[in-house]
Amino acid sequence: MLRKILIALLALTILAAAAFFVFAPGFLERNLNPVTAPPEGWPVSAEAQALHDRLVIGDWHADALLWDRDLLARGTRGHTDIPRLAEGNVAVQVYTTVTKSPRGQNYSQNSAEAPDNITPLFIGQLRPIRSWTSLKQRALVQAEALQRYARTAPDQLRLILTRADLDAVLADRAAGGRAVGILLGSEGAHPLEGNLANLDTLYDAGFRLLGLTHFFDNRIGGSLHGQGDQGLTAFGRQVVDEMMARDMIIDLAHASPQLIRDVLAIDGTRPILSHTGIRSHCDTPRNIDDTLIRQIAAKGGLIGIGYWSDVVCGQTPADIAGAIWAAIAVAGEDHVSLGSDYDGSVDAPFDVAGLAALTQALLDAGLTEAQIAKVMGGNMLRYLSEMLPQG
């Protein structure tokens, strides 16, 4: 009898573990990446839809690679996948790899020594064991998944590594193709693990954009949410110099004010701020001071406006449009773009398939069609055509 009980308990334990690995990551994603649209959806006029369909759209930031679901299949959770990007008429999407997130993460202050949220997520998703203990390997595993998608479905997804790749994607779409161009980036440069040689490893894996910091201070410099307003370290200066030598895009999202000033002071830098709001429009600690926004624009950089309530102070397309208007007032219409932060543990008023709701909101807010074309993708694509490696 005891033997039967033990076998039954073992079976129940195995079933419970299997259920956890199958259902827990999806449950977590659904809760962390909600869509707050009304059941009937947001109204989109025929005029707005027609304009939206003519646009060439680009977005600076989404974290879907973190969640280990099939991005070639239309999902029922989260904000993006390749079919929904195509439905939303997105031409170019930056997918970033997330490798570390401190327990108790907040916008005010986080310790780099805090327990990490991403490690148990990767274990729970049964990602390769090498990614459980190495941030570099964690980034590479996500990059490898993207590369597999590109090999499997080149008619749906193409990796953008060079200006020539970008031109090919845009030419194909102009001729009626629907493949989405994906640019690979990293949410913070801590996957370098303090070793400059790892920049070549990431570059060879397809990374063309690096955020310098995320929610904690690292060996590159200070985070907006770190412990004190720390600037660029000596190692961070080496990383910036080597990124510039490789025509890699420097992303200052989550950077401390001093780190931003230090990067801007380096001759030749032209960084972006991939996902943010405007402090004068939405006064929260996640949004940096307007002065720094102006300084990034003055160096030829771009500001990507996010969609989530913490940066736009609302949960409707109109709230995002208001943040975009504020960004134009601060940075100028040639320096504003989209930076949704889709799938980044944030709320959004629509998933990417419903992106036409933003075009409607921008029309309603009084932007001209030319301004909408710039913000929705024109500015980003111009920047990429000037900054990516030649190829």
pLDDT at 370 over 80: yes
pLDDT at position 16 is 39
pLDDT of residue 138: 98
DSSP 135: H
pLDDT at 4 over 90: no
pLDDT at 6 over 90: no
pLDDT in tens, 45-83: 999 999 999 999 999 999 999 999 999 999 999 999 999
Distance of alpha carbon 59 from alpha carbon 358, whole angstroms: 13
- Tens-place pLDDT, residues 175-230: 999 999 999 999 999 999 999 999 999 999 999 999 999 999 999 999 999 999 99
- The dihedrals phi and psi of 335, each to the nearest 5 degrees, come to -125, 15
Mean pLDDT of 26-39: 92
Report the DSSP beta bridge partners of residue 102.
Answer: 116
| pLDDT(11) > 60 | no
Instruction: Look at residue 26 in the predicted model and tell me its pLDDT.
Output: 77
Residue 3: pLDDT over 80: no
Q: What is the pLDDT of residues 234-280, one digit of tens each?
A: 999 999 999 999 999 999 999 999 999 999 999 999 999 999 999 99
Give the pLDDT of residue 261: 98
| Predicted confidence band of residue 27 (pLDDT cuts 50, 70, 90) | confident
Q: Which pLDDT tens digit goes with each residue over 151-188?
A: 999 999 999 999 999 999 999 999 999 999 999 999 99
Q: Can you give the pLDDT at residue 347?
A: 98
CB atoms within 10 A of CB 167: 14
- Residues 349-367: tens digit of each pLDDT: 999 999 999 999 999 999 9
Percent of the chain residues topping a pLDDT of 70: 94
Asked if residue 211 lies in contact with residue 189, where contact means CB atoms within 8 angstroms, the answer is yes
Do the Cβ atoms of 189 and 218 come closer than 8 Å?
Answer: yes
pLDDT band at 334 (very low <50, low <70, confident <90, very high): very high
Residue 101 is predicted with a pLDDT of 97
Per-residue pLDDT, averaged over 73-94, amounts to: 97
Q: Which residues contact 274 (CB under 8 A, 6 or more apart)?
A: 60, 61, 94, 185, 209, 211, 251, 253, 304, 339
Asked whether the predicted pLDDT for residue 20 surpasses 70, the reply is no
Residue 36 has pLDDT above 60, yes or no: yes
Mean pLDDT of the chain: 94
357 touches 130 (CB < 8 A): no
Of 38, 84, 340, 65, nearest to 206 by C-alpha is 65
